[in-house]
Amino acid sequence: MFNPNQSTLASCIENILSMQKEAGINSREIVHSRQPKIRKLMYKALAVDNVPKGFTKTLLPVYFESASTMYISSGAPYTKVPKHSHDEGAGIRFMISGSIHFGDVELTQGDWMYIPAGAGYEFEVGPQGATMCYCYQCSCA
């Protein structure tokens, strides 16, 4: 029988904090899955081996300290999201399909981006549009 309950939340957070320190990740800056220091971690230190056969699982090097809300959002091709911030709390975006351009980085299906509270950012949706799952420590509705 598969048992997913082999770690506690506290031990996972302790692991995340240790990895952030080791990799030089500043949780007050935007972090995404295309950064070399993150990609290096994802396939070694962040890999989770307690999964059913045929699956892979990766622990993200960030976490929320309080309750959060979740959304699915779709953007039309080339839509520009102007610079803004979520001052109430941190957020994370998971790319489901399509792409967005954040600075000189293109985030595509399977990528993610963590945005700390108060960090200003902007992006443009790629040519195929984009569908994303957002999770915020604020209402952001």
pLDDT, one tens digit per residue, over 4-24 is 777 888 888 998 898 899 888
Residue 37 lies in a domain: no
Here the tokens at position 110 are 């399977």
CB-CB contact of 96 with 113 (8 Å): no
Whether residue 75 is contained in a domain is answered as: yes
pLDDT in tens, 97-135: 999 999 999 999 999 999 999 999 999 999 999 999 999
Q: Tell me which residue range forms the domain holding 118.
A: 69-136
The residues near 93 (Cβ < 8 Å, ≥ 6 apart) are 107, 112, 113, 115, 132, 133, 134
- CATH code, domain with 115: 2.60.120.10
Assess if residue 54 is contained within a domain.
no
Three-class SS state of 105: strand
In a domain, 49, yes or no: no
Would you place residue 139 in the very low, low, confident or very high pLDDT band (cuts 50, 70, 90)? low
The owner of tokens 């600075």 is: 103
In a domain, 11, yes or no: no
Q: How many CA atoms lie within 13 A of 6 on its CB side?
A: 8
- Domain membership flag for residue 59: no
Residue 23 lies in a domain: no
Residue 93 within any structural domain of the chain? yes
Please list the residues that pair with 96 across neighbouring strands.
none
Q: Which of 98, 108, 105, 133 is nearest to 121 (CA)?
A: 105
Looking at the 3D structure of the chain, how many domains does it have? 1
Residue 111 is predicted with a pLDDT of 96
